[in-house]
Each structure stands twice: as C-alpha cells, then as structure tokens.
Amino acid sequence: MMMRHVVTRIIGLVPTLLLLVTAAFFVIRLAPGGPFDDERPVLPEVRANLESAYGLDAPLTTQYVRYVRGLLRGDLGPSFKHKDTSVSELIGAGLPISATLGAAALLLALLLGIPLGIWAALRRGSLADRGIALLAALALALPAFVLGPLLALLVGLRLRWFPAAGWDPGALRYAVLPVITLAIPVMAYVVRLTRTGLLEVLGSDYIRAARARGIGRRRLVTGHALRPALLPLVSWLGPATAFVLTGSLIVETVFGIPGAGRFLVEGALNRDYTLVMGMILVYGTITLTCNLLADLLHAWLDPRIRQH
C-alpha cells in the first residue's frame, strides 16, 4: 500500500508541474510592459526584430506550445536580459551555491533546534524553557535584512572572525555567516514545533500509561514520545526545505553571494519571462519533491499511515 502511494504521488508530479507552468506562463504575461521596455525607448523596427528573434511575435498559444516542447527537451530557453546566456546556464551556476548554503543551514537548524525543543518541553515552565522561548521569539522577530548586516558588521568587520561578504567555493569561511543567517529563523520554528509536539504527546493517555508502568523518562521520550512528536515538524519541513534550498535574495545580496535567489525577483522586474519561468519550475519541482519526502518520513514516523 505504501509503495502504491509513493508511485501515485510521483506520477502526480507531472500534471501538477504542467499546471504550474501553464498558469505561470500566462499570468506573467498579463503584467504591463515587456522584456524590451527600457528607460530609453526602442525603435519600432528594433523591437520587431527582437520579438521575432525570441519568438514573441507569435500568438500566445503558439509561444506556449513551443515553450512546453522545449521543456520536454530540457531547454528552459534563452534569457531576455542576460545576452547570449540560457536560463539553464544561469540557474545551473547559481542554484548549486544556494542549495549548498540552504542544506547547511537546514542541517544546522535541525541539529540545534530539535534538542533545544526537547529540552524546553521536558523543563516546561522552568527558567531554561522561558529562556529558549525568548530566544526563539527574538530569532523570529529579526528579519534577514537586519540579522545579516548585524552579523557582517559585528562578526565580520569588528571581530574579523569570518569574511563579511564575498564568495569563494573553496573556502568554507565565506559560508559561515550566510548559513547562520539562514539557519537562525528556521531553528526558531524547529524549536517551537518540537516543543509543542512533544508536550502534546507527553500529555496523551498512552504516555501516562507507559509512565505508570515504570518506564524511565529517557526511554519514554526516545522510544515512545519523540517519533509522534516530530510529525508537525516533518509536515512543516517540506515547503521550508524548498524555501532555503532555492536561495534567499536578502541573504545573497547582503553577503555578495552569486546564488539563484535573486533570479526570480530580477526576472520579474525585468520582464525576463523565461528566467521567471525557469525559477518557478525549479522552485515547484523542489517543493513537490520535498513534500513527497516529507510524506514518506511522516509515514515512517507514524505507522498508522502505512496501514492505509
């Protein structure tokens, strides 16, 4: 039954992505302006030549069919603003950097957030619990455009422990501050969800019965309560993982990182249709894949799901 569920979900990815591509293709063209509308007016004959070169002079339905055919060949099309560069080349250069930083930030958030959430739940109402709750609230209250410059100023420029900006693929020290900036708000959510889930499970009847049978607290938590307590966190991790893996415009701008986070906003502002479509497709694919993995992990944590 579980294998059938997995196969069904994987097959369902294709029509979902097609629907996403279709909606995005027509919606972004409803926005005023076009890819060749600059501050300096373009001569009509020049505009006509550009539109002909990029296939924008064809009917919208024809453009859509051409784009879908290109996708089937793995071609995301040329960028309208980055001359002589394809969308695949742009995303291929920036996405691995964003994904590396995002994966490191997510791992750091989980390694710190889950133990802190467990500790806070087991000491409910204590000074430690209140302190962790306060730190989590502060982490959520500090947006990336505030936290990033603060870390760059204090840790990078004042203390000079790590570079304040720049990127060198072979030097891990350039990734430290961006990863921390990305990880802190994610860790705050992890702490809250872990604490809330564990408290709810610890208050359930079967946990009370297990405690009455004399099972120790450590075994009670690790063997009986932790897996169901992590279910809310797992459900949240699907879209959250997609968000951090595709890059953060603010973090990459603050620290001067050539990632993919800027492409969606940059493409939308410049009416670079193919670049926007490429980022939407990548983000949609990663989101659907992460949600599928989250569902599988959810089923592993909750045996009742595997029985359906």
pLDDT, tens digit (0-9, with 9 covering 90-100), for 42-54: 667 777 777 777 7
Would you state the pLDDT for residue 248? Answer: 79
Residue 148, in any domain of the structure? yes
Quick check: 226 pLDDT over 60?
yes
> What CATH number does the domain containing 205 carry?
1.10.3720.10
Count of the separate structural domains present in the chain: 1
Owning domain of residue 104? 94-254
Residue 195, in any domain of the structure? yes
Residue 278, in any domain of the structure? no
Would you state the pLDDT for residue 2? Answer: 60
pLDDT digits (tens, 9 = 90+) for 253-265: 888 888 888 888 8
pLDDT digits (tens, 9 = 90+) for 93-105: 888 998 999 999 9
8 Å CB contact between 281 and 263: no
> Global pTM?
0.83
Residue 197, in any domain of the structure? yes
CA angle 109, 248, 193 (to 5 degrees): 30
Would you state the pLDDT for residue 214? Answer: 67
Quick check: 249 pLDDT over 60?
yes
Residue 191, in any domain of the structure? yes
Residue 274, in any domain of the structure? no
pLDDT digits (tens, 9 = 90+) for 148-176: 889 988 988 888 889 888 888 878 888 89
HEC string of the chain equals CHHHHHHHHHHHHHHHHHHHHHHHHHHHCCCCCCCCCCCCCCCHHHHHHHHHHCCCCCCHHHHHHHHHHHHHCCCCCECCCCCCCEHHHHHHHHHHHHHHHHHHHHHHHHHHHHHHHHHHHHCCCCHHHHHHHHHHHHHHHCCHHHHHHHHHHHHHHHCCCCCCCCCCCCCCHHHHHHHHHHHHHHHHHHHHHHHHHHHHHHCCHHHHHHHHCCCCHHHHHHHHHHHHHCHHHHHHHHHHHHHHHCCCHHHHHHCCCCCCHHHHHHHHHCCCHHHHHHHHHHHHHHHHHHHHHHHHHHHHHCHHHHCC
Residue 60, in any domain of the structure? no
pLDDT digits (tens, 9 = 90+) for 106-123: 999 999 999 999 999 888
